[in-house]
């Protein structure tokens, strides 16, 4: 299902201003490119950059786990027609995307092809393992933590990478793609500053999270993640681990236990009740709950929820 980025008046004004400089360029034609994106946030960003020249499909919904998405024949059919696949990378989709790409029989989308855009290659990943990695360590990603899309500060660079790849595939629209990426940056960067200001009073607050998926957000906003409900990434917690975690929370001054909407709330709520702290469920992606269908409303919700939950806490 294709979702459309809800542009603000400021963003539209920037786009119109940029477009005015392109009067000599050929008029844009609708849906010059068919694009598939693995995550809702990447689909929305691609739509913002591509505008009417691209038709974008998100393979995963916001309420689906991107580690374990069930590969469907409909996904392969979409990829068969696609000119470009935009994906998170850092092995987030390793359990299902390679299978889909092979099944699609579209050589341009395979690794190294001009229709294959790994956005993970554009960022500096956190938590890159320094030693050997094996399954006994849980769902450890050998290329680093893949959950970077929760950091709003990275989006202008991601937009630039998307614009350059679209320009390569559709040279007639190159100036338009680059102008739209520049307009996105002009609109987005002040928003990031405002979000940082809103969470500034919570800097240094200590959190426990269910899964290692909020590290990039915490780094951007000065929060401290000190422990995890999962014993190892992707491994459900044992009763012993939960008991030890209660002791560490009580001793460590934890302000909040955070989990994503897709995580079952029973364990974090019981853990927080035993440890005497609060819980907060967050939307992991746009569209995972009502009111988060756009990039702006998603980050507004993330920042607002955390700012409210951490307001007045002493830890």
DSSP 3-state of 51: helix
**Letter string b/e over residues 269-286, b meaning 16 or more CB atoms within 10 A of that residue's CB:** eebbeebebbbbbbbbbb
296 or 74: whose pLDDT is higher?
296
Pick from 153, 173, 155: which is nearest to 39 by CA? 155
Tell me the range of 243-252, 289-298, 304-313 where mean pLDDT is highest: 289-298
**What pLDDT band is residue 133 in, cutting at 50, 70 and 90?**
low
How far apart CA 103 and CA 226 sit, in angstroms, is 41
Q: What architecture is domain 9-194?
A: 3-Layer(aba) Sandwich (3.40)
* Model pLDDT for residues 49-61, shown as the tens digit of each residue: 999 999 999 999 9
For the domain 201-310, what is the CATH code?
3.40.50.1980
Q: Are 59 and 75 in contact (CB under 8 A)?
A: yes
71 or 12: whose pLDDT is higher?
71
Question: With a threshold of 0.85, does the pTM exceed it?
Answer: yes
Indicate if the pLDDT at residue 23 is higher than 80. no
Indicate if the pLDDT at residue 6 is higher than 60. no
Pick from 7, 88, 75: which is nearest to 42 by CA? 88
Q: How much is the average pLDDT of 207-214?
A: 96
pLDDT at position 29 = 55
CATH 3.40.50.1980 domain position(s) in the chain? 9-194, 201-310
Angle between helices 295-310 and 174-199 (to 10 degrees): 10
Indicate if the pLDDT at residue 111 is higher than 50. yes
* Model pLDDT for residues 269-289, shown as the tens digit of each residue: 999 999 999 999 999 999 999
How, if at all, do strands 206-209 and 224-228 pair? parallel
Q: How many residues does the chain have?
A: 315
Pick from 71, 38, 27, 64: which is nearest to 260 by CA? 64
**What pLDDT band is residue 314 in, cutting at 50, 70 and 90?**
low
Indicate if the pLDDT at residue 126 is higher than 50. yes
């Amino acid at each position: 299902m294709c979702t459309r980025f809800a542009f603000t008046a400021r963003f539209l004004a920037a786009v119109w201003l940029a477009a005015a400089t392109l009067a000599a360029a050929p008029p844009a034609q609708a849906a010059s490119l068919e694009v598939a994106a693995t995550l809702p946030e990447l689909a929305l960003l691609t739509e913002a950059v591509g505008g009417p020249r691209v038709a974008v499909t998100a393979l995963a919904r916001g309420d689906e786990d991107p580690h374990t998405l069930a590969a469907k024949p409909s996904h392969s059919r979409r990829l068969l027609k696609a000119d470009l696949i935009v994906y998170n990378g850092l092995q987030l989709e390793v359990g299902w995307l390679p299978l889909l790409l092979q099944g699609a029989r579209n050589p341009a989308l395979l690794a190294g092809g001009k229709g294959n855009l790994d956005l993970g290659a554009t960022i500096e990943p956190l938590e890159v393992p320094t030693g050997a990695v094996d399954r006994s360590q849980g769902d450890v990603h050998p290329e680093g933590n893949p959950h970077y899309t929760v950091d709003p500060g990275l989006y202008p660079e991601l937009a630039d990478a998307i614009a350059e790849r679209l320009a390569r595939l559709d040279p007639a629209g190159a100036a338009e793609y680059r102008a739209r990426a520049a307009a996105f940056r002009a609109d987005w960067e002040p928003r990031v500053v405002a979000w940082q200001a809103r969470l500034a009073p919570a800097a240094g607050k200590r959190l426990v999270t269910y899964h290692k998926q909020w590290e990039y957000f915490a780094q951007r906003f000065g929060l401290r993640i000190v422990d995890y409900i999962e014993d190892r990434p992707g491994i459900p917690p044992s009763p012993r681990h939960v008991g030890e975690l209660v002791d560490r929370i009580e001793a460590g001054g934890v302000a909040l236990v955070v989990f994503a909407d897709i995580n079952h709330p029973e364990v974090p709520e019981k853990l927080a009740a035993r440890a005497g702290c609060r819980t907060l469920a967050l939307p992991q992606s746009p569209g995972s709950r009502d009111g988060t269908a756009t990039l702006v409303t998603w980050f507004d919700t993330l920042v607002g929820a955390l700012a409210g939950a951490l307001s007045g806490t002493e830890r």
